[in-house]
Amino acid sequence: MSIHNHPKKAKEFVSNDERMHWHDKALWFVREKRDKASKSIPEWEKLREYAQQIKTHTMANLDKYLLEFEENATKRGIKVHFAKDAKEHNEIVYNILKEHQVKKVVKSKSMLTEECHLNPFLEKKGIEVVDTDLGERIVQFRKEPPSHIVLPAIHLKKEDVAKTFHKELGTDENNSDPTYLTRAAREHLRGKFLEADAGITGVNFAIANTGGVVVCTNEGNADMGSSLPKLHIACMGIEKIIPRLQDLSIFTRLLARSATGQPITTYTSHYHGAIENGEMHIVIVDNNRANFLSSNKYKKALNCIRCGACMNTCPVYRRSGGHSYDYVIPGPIGSSLATFRDPKLHKTLSFACSLCGSCSNVCPVKIDLDSQLYNHRQDLYEKNIISTKKRVVMKLSVWVLNSPILFSILGKITRKIVPLIPKKIIYNRFNIWGKQRDIPNMPTKSFKELYKEGSIDVK
Ligand code: SF4
The CATH code of the domain at 41-287 is 3.40.50.10420
Q: Is any atom of ligand 1 closer than 6 Å to the C-beta of 333? A: yes
pLDDT at residue 459 tops 70 = no
**How far apart (Å, rounded) are the C-alpha atoms in residues 232 and 281?**
6
3-class DSSP state of 142 = coil
347: pLDDT confidence band, cut at 50, 70 and 90? very high
Ligand 1 atom nearest to CA at 308: 5
Q: Strand order of the sheet with strand 128-131?
A: 79-83, 279-285, 231-237, 198-201, 104-107, 128-131
355 CA from centroid of ligand 1 (Å): 16
Ligand 1 atom nearest to CA at 359: 3
* Bridge partners, 214 (sequence order): 205, 270
416 CA from centroid of ligand 1 (Å): 45
Terminal CA-CA length for the chain: 53
**How far apart (Å, rounded) are the C-alpha atoms in residues 383 and 377?**
10
Contact 153, 140 (CB under 8 A): no
Q: Whose CA is nearest to atom 6 of ligand 1?
A: 304
Q: Is any atom of ligand 1 closer than 6 Å to the C-beta of 306? A: yes
115 CA from centroid of ligand 1 (Å): 17
Ligand 1 atom nearest to CA at 369: 1
Residues 95-112: tens digit of each pLDDT:
999 999 999 999 999 999
Q: Is any atom of ligand 1 closer than 6 Å to the C-beta of 385? A: no
Residues 415-431: tens digit of each pLDDT:
999 889 888 888 888 88
Determine the residue of 363, 370, 373 to mutate for testing ligand 1's pocket, defined as the one with the most ligand atoms within 8 A of the Cβ atom.
363
Q: Where are the domains of the chain?
A: 41-287, 404-453
Residues 188-229: tens digit of each pLDDT:
999 999 999 999 999 999 999 999 999 999 999 999 999 999
Residues near 117 by Cβ (< 8 Å), separated by ≥ 6?
Answer: 86, 90
Cα angle value 452/455/459 (rounded, 5°): 95
**How far apart (Å, rounded) are the C-alpha atoms in residues 370 and 353?**
8
Model's pTM, two decimal places?
0.91
Q: Is any atom of ligand 1 closer than 6 Å to the C-beta of 138? A: no
Q: Is any atom of ligand 1 closer than 6 Å to the C-beta of 304? A: yes
Residues 284-315: tens digit of each pLDDT:
999 999 999 999 999 999 999 999 999 999 99
Q: Whose CA is nearest to atom 2 of ligand 1?
A: 363
